[in-house]
Amino acid sequence: MTDLTPPGSRIAIVGSGHVGATAAYALMLRALFREIVLIDSNADLARAEAADLRDANALARPAKIWAGAYADARTASIAVITAGGATHGSQSRLSVASGSAEIVTSCVDQLIAAGFVGVILIAANPVDVMSLVAFRRAGLPSSRVIGTGTLLDTSRLRQELALRLGVAPGAVEGLVLGEHGDSEVVAFSSLRVGGLDMAAFASPAPEPDRAEVAQKVRDAAYTIMTGKGYTSFGVATAIVRICEAIVRDEHAVLPVSTLLTGQLGIEDLYLSLPCVLGAGGIERVLIPDLSSEEEDALRGSAAALRAVGVSIGLAAR
């Protein structure tokens, strides 16, 4: 028998930095949870962010927000881990894997020791490798260890194409798959705009340059970090969307990082594919229609992630 408060009652956010605090704020405004607990190795930071959030909450829907300990996460339905190594400038997400692995391992160990049995959502970079680290340590089903993956990249893709094609982002049905990082794959072969393929929708004008669009989406985080030093709003919103799909048992299809078990010849790795999300986490992993080139690129993305995993001691099982 699991020991959880009812869905939507409590969420634990581990890490009170830019992403963790912004996610807590967005969750508060969305009123998805009645209780939000912030956990951080820097207790003063967690207390300060919780106090600031409570000030904002006085003008929002009632919620209990406080700085707590891992024991407070025991009955949470979701624990979001944002704590990890930080990248700077043009530094790749994969470059901080070793430092992040130590932090994520410690966070997961303390969550499980406290008796947590809910869904773990990883938002620490490199998110795919850290999701595998968390899965290996948690002892939970892979359906309940999820990475934010390429949900943010997919949002960036839709936004970029919407601007170029003169439509709302919601009219663009497209996916970014694989690594949340430099080897990510834009699935142009299955992309639709208003039910049409991109070339047909753009006609008689030429369709947007695919390589240029993919590069713009891939480099978006670097552009933001050059200007402000970090990213926060986009990934925080992705966290909220995933939590919403779980808490409301939506059975929504979102591209998130999940454990592959042989799909496309890839196994024992976390990377992003479209997944059906409901109350128990990931209910089904989908394989979209891809061109042979896109399948090869996805396998290349998997190879890059596996190499990083091996470099930090994550040998294949």
Strands 281-285, 267-278: pairing kind:
antiparallel
- At 41, the amino acid letter reads S
Angle, helix 97-113 to helix 292-311, in steps of 10 degrees: 80
Q: What are the residue numbers of the active site?
A: 180
Give the span between the Cα atoms of 109 and 178, in whole angstroms.
27
Q: Which two tokens stand for residue 286?
A: 């989908």
Residues 6+ positions from 209 with CB-CB distance below 8 Å: none
Cβ contact 38:13 at 8 Å:
yes
Sign of CA dihedral 122, 124, 127, 133: negative
For residue 274, the Cα-to-chain-centroid distance in whole angstroms is 12
- C-alpha span between 4 and 222 (Å, rounded): 39
What one-letter code names the amino acid at 239?
Answer: I
CA separation, residue 100 to residues 46, 54, 138 (Å)? 19, 29, 16
Do 112 and 76 contact (CB within 8 A), yes or no?
no
Give the number of other Cβ atoms within 10 Å of residue 62's Cβ.
Answer: 8
Distance CA 28, CA 33 (A): 7
User: How many whole angstroms from its chain centre is CA 140?
Assistant: 18
- The token pair that represents 230 in the structure block: 């970090």
Cβ-Cβ contacts under 8 Å for 211 (sequence gap 6 or more):
none
Tell me which H or E stretch contains 132: helix 127-138
